[in-house]
């Protein structure tokens, strides 16, 4: 049984500030260890329920936050920048299930530690078929394209709630409750890892009834930017339509192509953020 793990960092218990999850800093060196423990807890839990093979796609910042030799389960490690499928690189239909580890809430959400949607300096809000989504919902397009269910998400309370909108019945390990974008009440790291182990095991045991994300096709992403220049820049990509000064939409019957267009928007608009 093959499990695909996409790991971010903002959702780790204890993490509440950019300085804790961006290299280089002593703080980052400490918190990357806590992230590694949470990734390993998910692998351990999955193994206890019968999972045998793991691919960890490091999806945070420059995407090289983990230590490959201390990954459990003889996990393969997909790391580094400019991955065409970004947070979903390496996924294909040979996988049985997907875990989202240490994810965070969307930019438009209720208080969620370090909330953002791909680019905190560009994107204000994203709707998927009219529903407000975070990175979990956008990444779910790729899961749908390959027909693989997302069965576990870890992070704060808001992150869990957002994933449920697109993946009803998803198992979640809520390791912290956010107070603001820069404050949260976290479980002790040991308790957080215990919770993640339990949730991962339950998610794998429940695989029989798990379904791919519930997203109607053709699907539409509506992206609201911080300013009109960003929206204008986005329209230079084929298939991106401006509907008002700061908002564009992308509609596609192929969920993977839709995701790729969105990622291209993210990469292109990065050039003109303030």
Min dist CB 136 to Zn ion, Å, is 12
Residue 267: name the closest of 226, 224, 236 by CA: 236
Residue number with CB closer to Zn ion (60 or 260): 60
Show contacts with Zn ion in window 195-234 (CB under 5 A): none
Min dist CB 61 to Zn ion, Å, is 6
Task: Show the binding pattern over residues 47-86: x = contacts Zn ion (CB under 5 A), - = does not.
Answer: -------------x--------------------------
Count of CA atoms in the C-beta half-sphere (13 A) of 157? 13
Binding residue for Zn ion, selected from 8, 96, 135, 162, defined by CB under 5 A? 8
Residue of closest CB approach to Zn ion: 60
Cα–Cα distance for residue pair 225/15, rounded to 1 Å:
26
Q: Is 116 a catalytic residue?
A: yes
Min dist CB 7 to Zn ion, Å, is 9
DSSP for 185-226 reads: EEPPHHHHHHHHHHHHHHHHHGGGG-------SSEEEEEEES
Min dist CB 200 to Zn ion, Å, is 20
Residue number with CB closer to Zn ion (8 or 162): 8
Min dist CB 81 to Zn ion, Å, is 13
Instruction: Choose the binding region for Zn ion from 7-15, 105-113, 119-127, 173-181 (rule: CB under 5 A).
Output: 7-15
Residue number with CB closer to Zn ion (32 or 60): 60
Yes or no: say if 258 and 141 are a contact pair by the CB < 8 Å rule: yes
**How many chain residues are in contact with Zn ion, going by CB under 5 A?**
2
Cα–Cα distance for residue pair 183/181, rounded to 1 Å:
6
From 60, 82, 104, 116, the catalytic residue: 116
C-alpha separations of 184 from 16, 157, 274 in Å:
7, 10, 27
Please enumerate, as own/partner, the contacts of 190-193 that have beta carbons within 8 Å and a separation of 24 or more: 192/12, 192/13, 192/38, 192/41, 193/37, 193/38, 193/40, 193/41
Residue number with CB closer to Zn ion (8 or 156): 8
Instruction: Choose the binding region for Zn ion from 3-11, 151-159, 176-184, 187-195 (rule: CB under 5 A).
Output: 3-11
Residue number with CB closer to Zn ion (54 or 103): 103
In the block, tokens 């980052």 appear at 28
132 by Cβ neighbours in 10 Å (0-12 / 13-18 / 19+) ranks as: middle
Residues at the contact surface with Zn ion, assessed by CB under 5 A: 8, 60
Catalytic residues: 116
């Amino acid at each position: 049984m093959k499990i695909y793990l996409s790991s971010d960092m903002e959702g780790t218990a204890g993490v509440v500030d950019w300085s804790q999850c961006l290299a280089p800093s002593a703080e980052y060196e400490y918190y990357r260890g806590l992230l590694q423990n949470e990734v390993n807890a998910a692998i351990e839990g999955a193994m206890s329920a019968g999972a045998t093979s793991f691919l960890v796609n490091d999806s945070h910042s420059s995407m090289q936050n983990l230590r490959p030799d201390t990954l459990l389960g003889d996990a393969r490690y997909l790391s580094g920048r400019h991955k065409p499928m970004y947070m979903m690189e390496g996924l294909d239909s040979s996988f049985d299930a997907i875990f989202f580890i240490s994810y965070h809430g969307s930019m438009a959400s209720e208080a969620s530690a370090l909330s953002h949607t791909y680019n905190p300096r560009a994107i204000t809000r994203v709707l998927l078929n009219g529903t407000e989504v975070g990175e979990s919902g956008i990444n779910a397009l790729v899961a749908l394209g390959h027909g693989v269910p997302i069965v576990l998400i870890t992070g704060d309370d808001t992150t869990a709630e957002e994933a449920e909108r697109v993946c009803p019945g998803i198992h979640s390990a809520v390791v912290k409750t956010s107070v603001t974008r820069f404050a949260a009440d976290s479980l002790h790291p040991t308790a957080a890892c215990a919770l993640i182990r339990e949730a991962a095991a339950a998610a794998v045991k429940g695989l029989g009834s798990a379904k791919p994300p519930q997203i109607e096709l053709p699907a539409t992403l509506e992206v609201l930017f911080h300013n009109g220049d960003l929206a204008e820049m986005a329209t230079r990509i084929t298939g991106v339509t401006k509907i008002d000064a700061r908002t564009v939409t992308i509609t596609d019957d192929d969920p993977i192509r839709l995701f790729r267009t969105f990622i291209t928007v993210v990469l292109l608009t990065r050039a003109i953020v303030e």
